[in-house]
Amino acid sequence: MALWILSTQLSVLCALLLAASSVNAQSGSSQPSISTPPTSSEPATETTLITLPISSYTFSSFPVPSASPIPGTFSSTSPKSPPPPGSELIPDFAPAWAMAHSRAKEFISGLTLEQKVNVSTGVGLGNGPCIGNTGTLSLLDTGSNTTRLSWPGLCLSDSPLGVNYVDLVTAFPAGITAASTWNRTLLRLRGEAMGAEFRGKGINVALSPVLGMGRVPQGGRNWEAFGADPFLAGEAGYETVLGLQQNGVQACAKHYINNEQEHKRDHESSHVDDRTEHEIYLHPFMRAVQAGVASVMCSYNQINASWACENERTLNQLLKGETGFQGYTMSDWGAHHSTLAAVAGLDMSMPGDISFGSGTSWWGANLTAFVENGTISESRVNDMAERIIAAWFLLGQDDNYPPVNFDTFDPFNPAKNQNVNVQADHYKLVREVAAAGTVLLKNVGGALPLRAPKTIAIIGNDAGPSTRGPNGYFFNFGLDGTLARGWGSGSTSMPYLITPLEAIQERARQDQSDVSWFLDNWALAGTQPLVGSQGFVNGANDTAFGQDVAIVFVNADSGEDQTINTSNIVFGDDTLDFGDRGNLTLWMNADNLINAVAAVNNNTIVVVHSVGPAILEPWIENPNVTAVVWANLPGQESGNSIVDVLYGDVNPSGKLPYTIARRTEDYPAEPVTGGTADEILLVEYTEKLNIDYRHFDANNIEPRFEFGFGLSYTNFSYSDLTIRAVHHTDHTSAALEAAWADGEASPNVEGGSTAIWLHRPAFEVSFTVANTGKVKGGEIPQLYLHFPSSAGEPPSVLRGFADVLLNPGQSKALTITLSRYDLSVWDAGAQGWRKPDGQFTFSVGASSRDFRLKGSVPL
């Protein structure tokens, strides 16, 4: 059955992608085009004059670290054996990269120009088994060089929550759920388990993680990413990359950069000032680089009027220059716009053809011709190939890496599909992450956890199965039944989906509770409910009336690129702008449903499965709504994970990775909509540093639930705050540290933003957390920095968090470190990281507004 679905999906996928690409190729007035497919004997040229500046940036294979590794703090590490999450040891991948580059340099030294171009150019959509495939190199003339090998090419595949387009894989909780755990260990384990599945299928490159910032709460793909704070997203991205790559899979950090809305994503220009770019949007990508990420995918949009995949500033200067990224960049599918993109820092064209299936390419023979006629230097092509082959060596993919064992585009052909089962026991981790990523928002009068209620009403379409099964909509472009992931390439097919209805019934069997349900969101029935036991149910209120507890399941969906609405989807009732949410209300009559149920049942518990924030004002203060549980997007074990939380087997410890506002207008920005087909839409980042909670704090706007908020079934107290400077005996960077202390900006050298002296712990903040309640529980203490007013920073910025699990009465001392980077702002004039003048204070507490301890940094 799963295969039948897959096949259906894939045939539509091809049609869809072809249609999308022809639109893209035809509509861009500013894009150069190639009229005839190029051949090697007759090189095609671009017919439109390209004004892309030729870079003055000098290419080097890998940056020279600006300080030597510090024994005991920075250990020379292979990506396949990173230190455990939260370890004092900070991995230094520079030596592993250096070795990989040296092998790659040797490997490519005997290749012809065409062969090197082949390494960098995808073979075209559908011309290989994976959603992306590079060219291959057959057995090379080894000569005296024994290390030279044939090269099988790369298989690239989605998605950020598991392997897409194949069968017998696990559907993990989405990125937004993983981020809501604020738990580095779980984030790492999720990455590691996903990596094992990618590897098991023979996929070289996992197109994961998504490191967008959720700038607009309606952003269609926000759920694929890790929330609306750069520090949180950076830590989640860091752990995910380490986990994925631990299994020898290459991770791909995407979508670089400023791809913050889906509406006209390939016809919008994000206008972002340099400081905001560095402090907000670049930060998570920098953390991915620090985790040794192999590849970075440039996005569909423009940044400051230059396409992301030919943007000299973001690719060459920021990524390869400042962060010292040593892997390769690839285009998002169809985001490649010119041959000269090579000069601006693009290393791989994906999927390789200009419009899908056209047989044309900006690279291939075009790139060869541009090198032969002197437009692009061969050293740039060498650098591209070297970076790609180096990433392959870095992850040990030359050493018994499994070959691809499926064909995305031909799933029923037994000769091409071995149907390898890679699921192992990952379902256990799915359940654990989904429960840990569930956030308790309201709990009045001990409504939760449930204690063997005699009668339970389960209400709402989101509680049950879809009439079409878990994979009934192509690319998940539809909503019917419980929501466990959004739609688009960031989805996966599910091996199964445990619904809340199913799991609660199983639990009820243990407690001998009576369970009734009503799954139609529109049939609310009258204000004089009939008693369900009479066997006469007209609507939700009839089912909810007289029951010990009524649990209402509701949702809000979004996704990539496509609009779903009532005309092609069964229950969607929202107005969407190509993937983005048209508004922040819950879907499918949810507000009316909740209020109708609460009108007849004074113990109404609301469970929300959502891609992002929603406006809860129509019912949040209703006294009969006794508890609200924010379950995000849980993946295949949805029902089991919510049962764990509802019944208290897991004490909720999740925290919101974004703000839930009282009104949509309270958010700092919304997607820009409209625009004619050819128009490049201007998206101005006028809120600058003040995304999400930073804006609410700066403007004294009361949120409904603030960033970092989440309740527990127990209580925690905070005490004993201390802060001390970290002294070290290594003096290699003493001059840099002294200059920084004097307020000088850090030097803008290659790898300067990831320099070791800037990131080593400079201060250690210690405090104690105690469980003062009656049940075991986990807490996520958060550290917010308050910069001196001279800095022009938001009032509070997240700079650290920890997780601790405590028995009742138990307490534990915790430490969070601050680096010089943490205490710096980006000085756009000096182009470096600088400590602002004045007094730095900080708070430690349970959310971005629940500060329990305050201190100042002894600078």
The Cα–Cα gap between 585 and 773 comes to 35
Q: How many CA atoms lie within 13 A of 661 on its CB side?
A: 23
Q: How far is the CB of 833 from ligand BGC (least distance, A)?
A: 30
Which helix (H) or strand (E) covers residue 821, if one does?
none
Pairing of strands 782-786, 841-845: antiparallel
In one-letter notation, the amino acid at residue 179 is: A
Q: Which of 92, 167, 266, 332 is catalytic?
A: 332
DSSP readout, 37-100? Answer: ---SSS----SS---PPPP-PPP-SSPPPSS---TTTEEE--TTSPPPTT-S-EEE-HHHHHHH
- How many Å apart are CA 820 and CA 834, to the nearest integer? 9
Closer to ligand BGC by Cβ: residue 131 or 605: 131
- Nearer to ligand BGC by C-beta: 256 or 333? 333
Find the shortest distance in angstroms from Cβ 496 to ligand BGC.
24
Looking at the Cβ atoms of 131 and 798, the one nearer to ligand BGC is 131
Taking the complex as a whole, the smallest distance from the CB of residue 267 to ligand BGC amounts, in Å, to 14
Closest approach, Cβ 681 to ligand BGC, in A, equals: 17
Report CA Rg, the chain.
27
- Output the smallest distance, CB 500 to ligand BGC, in A: 29
Coil, strand, or helix at residue 721?
strand
Backbone torsions φ then ψ of 185, nearest 5 degrees: -65, -45
Comparison of 253 and 661: residue with beta carbon closer to ligand BGC: 253
Burial class (CB in 10 A: 0-12, 13-18, 19+), 703: buried
- Residue 651 CA to residue 783 CA, distance in Å, equals 22
332 in active site:
yes
Whose Cβ is closer to ligand BGC: residue 93's or residue 333's? Answer: 333
- Least separation in angstroms between CB 299 and ligand BGC: 8
| Shortest distance (Å) from residue 333 CB to ligand BGC | 4
Length of the chain: 859
For the chain, how are helix, strand and coil distributed in percent, rounded to 5? 25, 20, 55
Interface contacts to ligand BGC, rule CB under 6 A: 131, 158, 207, 254, 332-333, 489
Gap between the Cα atoms of 246 and 592, Å rounded = 47
- Residue with smaller CB distance to ligand BGC, 116 or 263: 263
- Cα–Cα distance measured from residue 765 to residue 444, given in angstroms and rounded to the nearest whole number: 34
Could you tell me the smallest distance in angstroms from the CB atom of residue 760 to ligand BGC? 34
CA distance 617 to 811: 37
φ, ψ for residue 352 (rounded to 5)?
A: 120, -30
Closest CB to ligand BGC among residues 333, 658: 333
Shortest reach from residue 436's CB to ligand BGC, in Å: 26
C-alpha of 70 from chain center: 31
Mention every residue, 6+ apart, whose C-beta is less than 8 A from residue 428.
Answer: none
Within 10 angstroms of residue 367's Cβ, the number of other Cβ atoms is 30
Identity of the residue numbered 311: N
Q: 3-state secondary structure string, 614-674?
A: CCCCCCCCCCCEEEEEECCCCCCCHHHHHHHHHCCCCCCCCCCCCCECCCHHHCCCCCCCC
Minimum separation from the CB atom of position 205 to ligand BGC (A): 10
- Which residue, 188 or 254, has its beta carbon nearer to ligand BGC? 254
Contact, 433 vs 177, CB < 8 A? yes
| CB 278 to ligand BGC: min, Å | 24
Bond prior to 65 in cis (omega within 30° of 0): no
Q: 199 or 254, CB closer to ligand BGC?
A: 254
**Torsion angle of the four alpha carbons 692, 698, 702, 706, in this order, in degrees rounded to the nearest 10:** 40
Give the C-alpha distances (Å, rounded to integers) separating 612 from 130, 175, 546, 584, 585: 30, 11, 33, 9, 11
Minimum Å distance from CB 478 to ligand BGC? 18
- The alpha carbon of residue 162 and the mean position of all alpha carbons in its chain are separated, in whole angstroms, by 12
Cα gap 512→845, rounded to integer Å: 41
Cβ within 8 Å of residue 158, ≥6 positions away:
131, 164, 165, 207, 208, 489, 490, 492
| Residue the block writes with tokens 């499918």 | 588
Q: What is the DSSP string of 247-291?
A: TTPEEEEEEETT----TTTTSEEEE--HHHIIIIIIHHHHHHHHT
Q: Which residues pair with 518 in a beta bridge?
A: 459
Q: In angstroms, give the least distance from the CB of 175 to ligand BGC.
A: 12
Assess contact for 244 and 195: CB atoms under 8 A. yes
Distance, in Å, from the CA atom of 847 to the CA atom of 440, rounded to the nearest integer, reads 13
- For ligand BGC, which is the closer residue by CB, 165 or 427? 165
* Nearest Cα residue to 477 out of 553, 571, 356: 571
Instruction: Output the six-digit token pair for 637.
Output: 């074990």
Q: Which is nearer to ligand BGC, 207 or 844 (CB)?
A: 207
**183 or 562: whose CB is closer to ligand BGC?**
562
Nearer residue to ligand BGC within complex by CB, 220 or 703:
220
Residues with active-site annotation = 332
